[in-house]
C-alpha cells in the first residue's frame, strides 16, 4: 500500500543549509540586556548562592565587567544594588541619595565605558526596611507617597547619567509623575522602560537573596504586582504606561508569560522586552548542574523563544555567556 502525504514539510529541514535558509529569526548581542548586582567596597566579589554563576561586584569590578560586556557586544547593563541593611529605613531616604551605591556605579560606568547604556531599577525595595517596593503605612503600601519618593529616586538616577530608567514598582501614576519631573528638570532624553506587565511571581526568589531583600520583606506584593491569572489586566497596564510616557515596556517574568510578550507586541507594536528573571535562570542552571538538561542549549532556546514571541530584547543573567556563543557563530 502506498502512502502519499499531502505535503512534505520535512523537505526544508533536511540539511543545515536548508534549515539556515528558512530560519525565521536570529539572536544578536543587540538583543541582550545584562542585569548585574553591585555591592560596596573595592575589589570585592560575592557569590549568590541561589544563582550559581552570578556574583555581586563592587563598583570598580562592575566597571570592569561593563567594559568586558561592551567588548563582547552587549549594549545595555542594568544595575541592582545590594544595600547595607543599616541604610534601610521606613521612608527609604537612601533611594534618592545622589551618592548611593547605584548612583555611584552609574557615574563610574558612564565615565569609563560611555558607550554602554546604563539601565536602573526604580523601586524602593533595596532601601526599604519593610522590603516593599513602596512605602508602608499601617501595613498598607501607600501609592501616592510612594510615587513622590520614586520620582526623587528617578531624578537622582537621571542626574547620575542613567540612560534607561526601569520603574519596577507597579504603583499607579508613576510613569506620568516621572515624565513630568524629567521635563521640568531638563532630562528630556532620559528613556523609560516601564516594568508594565509585572506579575506577583514566585520566580523572583533568588533575586531577593541577591539584593538582600528576602529578610526584610513582610508579606507579599500582591496588592501592587499583577495576578498571574490576568492577561487583559497586563495589557491595560501596558496601555496606561505608554499613555503616561513610557518609551519601552517590559513583561516580567519571561518564560511563563510569553503569551503576554506576544500580545503586547501585537497590540501595541512598541519596543517590548522580557525579563528572564532569577528563578528562570536558577531552574536552567540547577537542571544543567545536575546533568538533567544541556544548559547551553536550554539557555539559547529560551532566548530564541523571546524573539519568537515578539520581544525586541531580553534582560537575562545569561547575557555574557549567550553573547560569547552568538559571537562564536552558535547555531
Ligand atoms: C524590585 C525588582 C524585583 C526584580 C527586579 N526588580 C523583585 C521583586 O519585584 O520582588 C526581580 C528580578 C529577578 O527575579 O531576576 N522591584
Helix 143-160 crosses helix 174-185 at what angle (to 10 degrees)? Answer: 40
Tally of structural domains, the chain: 1
The SS3 of residue 34 is: strand
Q: Residue 209 above 90 pLDDT?
A: no
- Mean pLDDT of the chain, nearest integer: 96
Q: Is 291 left (phi over 0), alpha (psi -120 to 50) or beta?
A: left
Out of 146, 168, 302, mutate this one to test ligand 1's pocket (max ligand atoms within 8 Å of CB): namely: 168
**CA distance readout (Å), 97 to 71, 154, 285, 302:** 31, 11, 36, 37
Instruction: Give the highest mean pLDDT range of 110-114, 205-209, 327-331.
Output: 110-114
Render 159-217 in DSSP notation, one character per residue.
Answer: HHT-SEEEE-S--TTHHHHHHHHHHHHT-TT-EEEEEEEEB--GGGHHHHHHTT-TTT-
Asked which of 1-15, 46-60, 178-192, 278-292 is least confident by mean pLDDT, the reply is 1-15
Place of cell 504603583: 171
Q: Residue 265 catalytic?
A: no
Q: Grade residue 2 by pLDDT with cuts at 50, 70 and 90.
A: confident
> Has residue 236 been placed in a domain?
yes
The SS3 of residue 46 is: strand
> Has residue 12 been placed in a domain?
no
User: And the C-alpha cell for 85?
Assistant: 541593611
Instruction: Note the pLDDT of residue 198.
Output: 98
> Has residue 242 been placed in a domain?
yes
Q: Residue 62 above 80 pLDDT?
A: yes
Instruction: Note the pLDDT of residue 213.
Output: 75
User: And the C-alpha cell for 136?
Assistant: 508602608
Do 40 and 83 contact (CB within 8 A), yes or no? no
CB-based pocket (< 6 A), ligand 1: 121, 123, 125, 133, 168, 204, 207-208, 221, 277-278
Q: Residue 138 above 70 pLDDT?
A: yes
Instruction: Note the pLDDT of residue 1.
Output: 67
Q: Residue 208 above 90 pLDDT?
A: no
Instruction: Note the pLDDT of residue 170.
Output: 97
Mean predicted confidence (pLDDT) in 211-231: 90
The closest-lying atom of ligand 1 relative to the alpha carbon of residue 204 is: 14
Place of cell 519568537: 308
> Has residue 1 been placed in a domain?
no
Q: Which of 318, 277, 278 is nearest to 297 (CA)?
A: 318
Q: Grade residue 11 by pLDDT with cuts at 50, 70 and 90.
A: very high
Do 232 and 264 contact (CB within 8 A), yes or no? no
Mean predicted confidence (pLDDT) in 53-69: 98
The closest-lying atom of ligand 1 relative to the alpha carbon of residue 35 is: 15
> Has residue 14 been placed in a domain?
no
Q: Residue 221 catalytic?
A: no
Nearest CA to ligand 1 atom 5: 168
Give the distance (Å) from ligand 1 centre to CA of residue 282: 14
> Has residue 96 been placed in a domain?
yes
CATH of the domain at 292: 3.20.20.70
Instruction: Note the pLDDT of residue 214.
Output: 73
The reply to whether ipTM tops 0.95 is: yes
* pLDDT, greater one: 302 or 211: 302
Q: Which of 116, 119, 85 is nearest to 102 (CA)?
A: 119
**How far, in Å, CA of 14 to CA of 19, rounded?**
7
> Has residue 3 been placed in a domain?
no
Please state, for a pLDDT cut of 90, what percent of the chain lies above it.
94
pLDDT digits (tens, 9 = 90+) for 153-200: 999 999 999 999 999 999 999 999 999 999 999 999 999 999 999 999
pLDDT digits (tens, 9 = 90+) for 239-288: 999 999 999 999 999 999 999 999 999 999 999 999 999 999 999 999 99
For residue 96, what are the domain limits? 26-327
Question: Given 110, 198, 221, 265, which residue is catalytic?
Answer: 198
> Has residue 16 been placed in a domain?
no
Amino acid at each position: 500500500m502506498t502512502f502519499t502525504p499531502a505535503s512534505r514539510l520535512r523537505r526544508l529541514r533536511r540539511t543545515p543549509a536548508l534549515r539556515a535558509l528558512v530560519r525565521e529569526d536570529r539572536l544578536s548581542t543587540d538583543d541582550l540586556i545584562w542585569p548585574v548586582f553591585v555591592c560596596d567596597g573595592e575589589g570585592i566579589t560575592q557569590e549568590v548562592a541561589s544563582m550559581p554563576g552570578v556574583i555581586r561586584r563592587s563598583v570598580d569590578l562592575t566597571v570592569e565587567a561593563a567594559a568586558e560586556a561592551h567588548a563582547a557586544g552587549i549594549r545595555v547593563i542594568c544595575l541592582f544594588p545590594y544595600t547595607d541593611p543599616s541604610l534601610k529605613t521606613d521612608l527609604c531616604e537612601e533611594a534618592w541619595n545622589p551618592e548611593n551605591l547605584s548612583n555611584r556605579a552609574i557615574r563610574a560606568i558612564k565615565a569609563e565605558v560611555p558607550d554602554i547604556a546604563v539601565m536602573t531599577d526604580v523601586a524602593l525595595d533595596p532601601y526599604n526596611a519593610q522590603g516593599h517596593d513602596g512605602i508602608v503605612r499601617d501595613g498598607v503600601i501607600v501609592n501616592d507617597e510612594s510615587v513622590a519618593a520614586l520620582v526623587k529616586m528617578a531624578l537622582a538616577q537621571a542626574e547620575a547619567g542613567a540612560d534607561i530608567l526601569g520603574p519596577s514598582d507597579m504603583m499607579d501614576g508613576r510613569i506620568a509623575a516621572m515624565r513630568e519631573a524629567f521635563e521640568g528638570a531638563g532630562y528630556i532624553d532620559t528613556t523609560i522602560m516601564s516594568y508594565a506587565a509585572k506579575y506577583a511571581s514566585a520566580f523572583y526568589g533568588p533575586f531577593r537573596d541577591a539584593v538582600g531583600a528576602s529578610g526584610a520583606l513582610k508579606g507579599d506584593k500582591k496588592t501592587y504586582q499583577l495576578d498571574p491569572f490576568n492577561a487583559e489586566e497586563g495589557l491595560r497596564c501596558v496601555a496606561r504606561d505608554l499613555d503616561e510616557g513610557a518609551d519601552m515596556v517590559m513583561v516580567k517574568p519571561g518564560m511563563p508569560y510569553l503569551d503576554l510578550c506576544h500580545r503586547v507586541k501585537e497590540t501595541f507594536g512598541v519596543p517590548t522586552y522580557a525579563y528572564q528573571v532569577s528563578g528562570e535562570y536558577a531552574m536552567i542552571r540547577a537542571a544543567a548542574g545536575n546533568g538533567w538538561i544541556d544548559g547551553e542549549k536550554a539557555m539559547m532556546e529560551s532566548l530564541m523563544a523571546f524573539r519568537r514571541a515578539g520581544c525586541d530584547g531580553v534582560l537575562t543573567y545569561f547575557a555574557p555567556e549567550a553573547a560569547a556563543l552568538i559571537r562564536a557563530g552558535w547555531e
